[in-house]
Amino acid sequence: MTDTTFTPRVFSGIKPSGGLTLGNYLGAIKRFVGMQGQMETIYCVVDMHAITVWQDPKELAHMTREVAAGYLAAGLDPSQSILFNQSQVAAHAELGWIFNCVARVGWMNRMTQFKDKAGSNAEKVSLGLYAYPSLMAADILLYHATHVPVGEDQKQHVELTRDIAAKFNHDYKVDFFPATEPVIEGPAMRIMNLRDGTKKMSKSGESDMERINMTDDADKIAKKFKKAKTDPEPLPETVEGLASRPEARNLVEIYAALDDTTPEAVIAQYPGAGWGTFKPALADLAVAKLSPISEEMARLMDDPAEIDRTLAAGADKARAIAEPILKQTYDIVGLLRG
């Protein structure tokens, strides 16, 4: 029953809790595509995570398809990666429960994302929001995934996943779950809000002007970058000059990530440039990279039944990996089955 060799396998997911942003694209989807073909890759639309906060049912179904369309339009290929939505594979919820009994309340209390999201309202948020990192651990460990590409904000949750795996292995004296590695690399691990360089760009921020959506058209993208907050100084001559300039650094990092280069190379290309030069160049680059994707997303969204078929076929493949691992987990824990 012990399993000490783990085949390299990638798992990651995005919540369908609002439209995909440039943060999701650069911090997650673009990197998902980069890992495809290098090892086995499993990418999930984590709809059960989305309902930790209220979601309108029709909108949830629409957003689930839209995230799937984003995956496909950006280059994920269902013949190379397993693509599915989480709720179609019941084993996620089942392993999630077991992990609720492994994870400690003290560990959950240290989750900074929960503290940020719940804020002073912690008594009123759902129990699911509090427990969600243990469901995330189940998402990952149900496939014995070894690599999890995520943005910086998810690092603590992947570390918790390692803690849960280690405690399970220790308590049951097995070597069953792997120590998963977060894969957090490149210039775009934390894309910031365009109106406030100290806050993360997110799907749920108040103003649409603070984020670029993957479905924004060229005019909107240009307008949002033009209005993006900056300090009055031009770009520095070297990348060190960005250190205490969060908004400037963010725009340079976005440029670097879109252009598959480094902030150093961007500064070398635009040393001392004013915003009147840099912002339009950034907008042109973003439009060039994003518009083929948003056009393909719109085309895919015209045929929702086809997206549903793709997700159902992916769920079949996911179940084929997940169910044997769940059964072995039940055996280890001593949960009887016929």
Cite the DSSP H helix spans in 180-217: none
Q: How far is the CB of 74 from ligand AMP (least distance, A)?
A: 12
Q: Which stretch binds ligand TRP (CB under 6 A): 5-13, 166-174, 201-209, 226-234?
A: 5-13
Query: Which partner in ligand AMP, ligand TRP, none is near 148 (CB below 5 to 8 A by kind)?
Result: ligand TRP
Kind and range of the H or E element at 181?
A: strand 181-183
Q: Of 15 and 195, which has the nearer Cβ to ligand TRP? A: 15
**Angstrom distance (rounded) from CA 82 to CA 310:** 10
**Angstrom distance (rounded) from CA 188 to CA 276:** 23
52 binds ligand AMP (CB under 6 A): no
129 binds ligand AMP (CB under 6 A): no
Q: Of 151 and 236, which has the nearer Cβ to ligand AMP? A: 151
Q: How far is the CB of 44 from ligand TRP (least distance, A)?
A: 7
Only one residue has tokens 């269902």, namely 78
Q: Does the active-site annotation cover 203?
A: yes
Member of 73, 191, 307, 318 binding ligand AMP (CB under 6 A): 191
Among candidate residues 155, 167, 203, 229, the one labeled active-site is 203
Query: Which partner in ligand AMP, ligand TRP, none is near 191 (CB below 5 to 8 A by kind)?
Result: ligand AMP
Burial class of residue 106 in the structure, from the number of CB atoms within 10 Å of its CB (0-12 exposed, 13-18 middle, 19+ buried): exposed
Sign of the torsion angle spanned by Cα atoms 155, 160, 166, 168:
negative
**Count of C-beta atoms within a 10 Å radius of residue 18:** 19
Q: Give the Å distances, CA to CA, from 323 to 275, 319, 328.
A: 54, 6, 9
Q: How far is the CB of 38 from ligand TRP (least distance, A)?
A: 17
Member of 10, 27, 82, 216 binding ligand AMP (CB under 6 A): 27
C-alpha atoms less than 13 angstroms from C-alpha of 271 in its C-beta half-sphere:
6
**Count of C-beta atoms within a 10 Å radius of residue 284:** 14
157 binds ligand TRP (CB under 6 A): yes
Site for ligand TRP in 135-154 (CB under 6 A): 136, 139-140, 148, 150, 154
Q: Does the active-site annotation cover 223?
A: no
**Angstrom distance (rounded) from CA 285 to CA 281:** 6
Burial class of residue 285 in the structure, from the number of CB atoms within 10 Å of its CB (0-12 exposed, 13-18 middle, 19+ buried): middle
Q: Is residue 143 within 8 Å of residue 325, measured between CB atoms?
A: yes
Query: Which partner in ligand AMP, ligand TRP, none is near 203 (CB below 5 to 8 A by kind)?
Result: ligand AMP
Residues of the shown chain interacting with ligand TRP in the complex, contacts defined by CB under 6 A: 11-13, 15, 46, 49, 136, 139-140, 148, 150, 154, 157
Residues of the shown chain interacting with ligand AMP in the complex, contacts defined by CB under 6 A: 14-15, 23-24, 27-28, 150-151, 153-154, 188-191, 200-203
